[in-house]
Each structure stands twice: as structure tokens, then as C-alpha cells.
Amino acid sequence: MDRNLAEYIRDTTSDLIINKNAIVMGQCLTAVGWVAGTVPSFENHPNIIELPMADVAGGGIAVGAALDETRPVIYIVRYQGFLWYNAISIANYAAKSFELFGVPCPLIVRAIGMEGGIGPVAGNYHLSILLRMPGINVFAPMTTSEWNFAISKHFEENTHPTILGEHRSAYNIDFSLDDRLIERSEMNILALGSSRINSKFAQELLAKKGIRVNLFNLFKLAPLEWPMGLLEAIKETNNCLIVDSDYEEWGPSQTIAFKLSKLTGGNIDVLGLTRKSAGFSPASDNLTPSVSQIVDKVQNLIQYK
């Protein structure tokens, strides 16, 4: 892997600015770190636009900019919890513009998840805010190839907004997050968002314990596209655990579980964030299911299979 995800996003953004006259908008983009190294450090570049601390208006300005579909517009929401403000015009104008008025509004939104000691708003993964709205394409890319796929798909269509649900925990990883199928598996894990990292290590730990589990990764959320072989694998073992970094209740995982249950007839369970606000202290935090939590859940499900 020659570049990590953060470097890949930075370089791709640089190419888009230079070669496609792309606009990058957001708050504090040019501050220390350049959004965790994902924004090219072009000082005073006219295409990198610092917006005021006005999240609702900022989202609207980005949507208006994207009505010029001849050039890419990338809107950066530095913490997904900020989507509660920023999503208003994205969900209610950009998502509907093509369907209602025939006017494309192909805004690219980079909504970045984070967790661990960052508090009740900046913490956690909140894609479910936008997943329920028709007219929005949502991806949760955790690797360079997935980010590239999402962007390519966006430009292929170039009519609707695309949400890239990134997660800071994936920016620096130097290993792959591919699907890993094991012969004669007893169970399947379908992992979303940053839970894919812990799910990968959970699968490895389970293997050491002699428990054979398939691992599937889902990043094409809306429109929903199943990983290759998932449905067949569930039909074979009759079970699946969905692991998510969003909330377990009323989050994407329960909807996905319902769909999988209808499609396969299997027993589908979910494991995500508990229904509580995240504080700053370790004792009050609300984190993506850990490796041991995933392992315990799988063992428990297999026991009662």
C-alpha cells in the first residue's frame, strides 16, 4: 500500500482542484493539520474556501455552489455530529433538486466520523441522519480503493449529492480491509464503518479460538449493494452478525438486518453503539464495539444457534 487513506484523499483532491477546477469548502480547512492531512496544503488558494462558523448557512452555500455541475464541489464536515446542522440543505435541497426540478446538484460531502474522548457531538458516526433521505448516495469508504470507487461512481452519475462517510480511525491504517471468507464457516460478520477494523481483528482472534467466521464489509450503503457472496453465505450458515459504528437502535444496522432476514430467512443480529450520549471521559464514552465485544457476541450467538 503506497499511500494511506488520508494521503490518497489529499492527493486526489489536489488533482481535482488542479485538473477539474474543483472547489473545496468547509470550516477551518486551512488550520493546523489541514483536516488530518486530507486537504492539500495550498495556502490562499481561491478554490479552497473557508466558510464562516455558520453550519446551516454553510451547507446551503455548498449546495448552491454544486448547482454548477460543471465543476466538482467538495464540502467537508469535519465531524459527523455536525451533520445535524449541516445536513439541512443537503437533505432538503441537493437531494431533491434533480428529482423535483430536473436540476442536478452533485455535491460531494466528506463527513468525517471520530470517536474516543471527543464528546457528545464531535464523537461517533451519524450517517443514519442522511441515509433515510431519498436522492442521496451514501458510501462509507475505509480504504483508498473504496474512496476511489465512490468518487468515480459520483462523477459517472453527477446528478445527486454523494456522502462519503469517512472515519478518522481509517486514515492511517496500512492493512487491507477486504472480505475474508473461510471454508466451513459457522457464522458471518457483516461490518460497516470503522467497526470493520475491529471486526477484522475479531475474526482473527476467533480463528485462533477455532471458531470459523466469514467477514464481509459493506460500504455501499445507499443505494445498498451487498458484498459478493454474502447472501449465499448467510443461507448456508443461517446466521449473520452486523457490526456497526453507528447506533444499534434506529441506526442502519437494524434496517440492514431486516432486509437480510427477508432475503435469506437467516437469523440476523446487530451490534453497534449503545443508546447513550458519548462523554469525554473513558467511563462515559460510547465507542464502536471492541474486538472483545464482537468476539463475545459471536461466541454467544453460536452457542445459542
Partner 1 sequence: MAQFLYECGPSNERWYMQMSMMELSSQLSIYERMYKIRKFELRVRDVHQDGKIKIPIYLGVGQESIAATISEIFSNGIPIFAQHRSHSYFISFGGDLSLLRDELLSREETWDKGAGGSASISSESIEMFGHSGFMGDQIPIAAGFSLVKKRPVLGIVGDASVEEDYVLATLGFIAKRRIPMLLICEDNNLSILTKVEVRRDWNLAIVASSFGCEAHEINDHPKSIWEIIKPWNQMGPLVINVKTTRHLWHSGSGQDEVPVKDTLNDYKLELLKFVDIKHIEDIEARIDCEVDAVWTGI
Q: Which residues bind partner 1 (CB under 8 A)?
A: 23, 49, 51-52, 54, 56-68, 71, 73, 88-89, 92-93, 96-97, 99-103
Q: Which residues contact 187 (CB under 8 A, 6 or more apart)?
A: 211, 212, 213, 214, 237, 239, 240, 241, 298, 301, 302, 305
**Cβ closer to partner 1: 50 or 249?**
50
Reported residue count of the chain is 305
**Cβ closer to partner 1: 92 or 299?**
92
Query: What's the min distance (Å) between Cβ of 210 and partner 1?
Result: 56
Which residue stretches of 190-267 are H helix?
Answer: 195-208, 230-237, 252-264
**Cβ closer to partner 1: 67 or 181?**
67
CB burial class (10 A; 0-12, 13-18, 19+) of residue 221?
buried
The three cell numbers of residue 43 are 495556502
**Cβ closer to partner 1: 70 or 281?**
70
- Which has the closest alpha carbon to 115: 266, 301, 289? 289
Cβ contact 167:125 at 8 Å: yes
Query: What's the min distance (Å) between Cβ of 92 and partner 1?
Result: 4
**Cβ closer to partner 1: 24 or 256?**
24
Q: Which residues contact 76 (CB under 8 A, 6 or more apart)?
A: 24, 25, 26, 29, 35, 39, 109, 110, 112
**Cβ closer to partner 1: 87 or 270?**
87
220 bridge partner residues: 139
Cβ contact 244:277 at 8 Å: no
Query: What's the min distance (Å) between Cβ of 52 and partner 1?
Result: 6
**Cβ closer to partner 1: 9 or 105?**
105
Instruction: Give CA separation, 163 vs 5, 76, 106, 166, in Å.
Output: 16, 10, 10, 9
Query: What's the min distance (Å) between Cβ of 68 and partner 1?
Result: 5
**Cβ closer to partner 1: 47 or 199?**
47
Query: What's the min distance (Å) between Cβ of 186 and partner 1?
Result: 49
Query: What's the min distance (Å) between Cβ of 140 and partner 1?
Result: 26
Cα three-residue angle 159-161-166, rounded to 5 degrees: 140
Query: What's the min distance (Å) between Cβ of 20 and partner 1?
Result: 13
Query: What's the min distance (Å) between Cβ of 51 and partner 1?
Result: 7
CB burial class (10 A; 0-12, 13-18, 19+) of residue 156?
exposed
Which residue stretches of 103-251 are H helix?
Answer: 128-131, 144-157, 195-208, 230-237
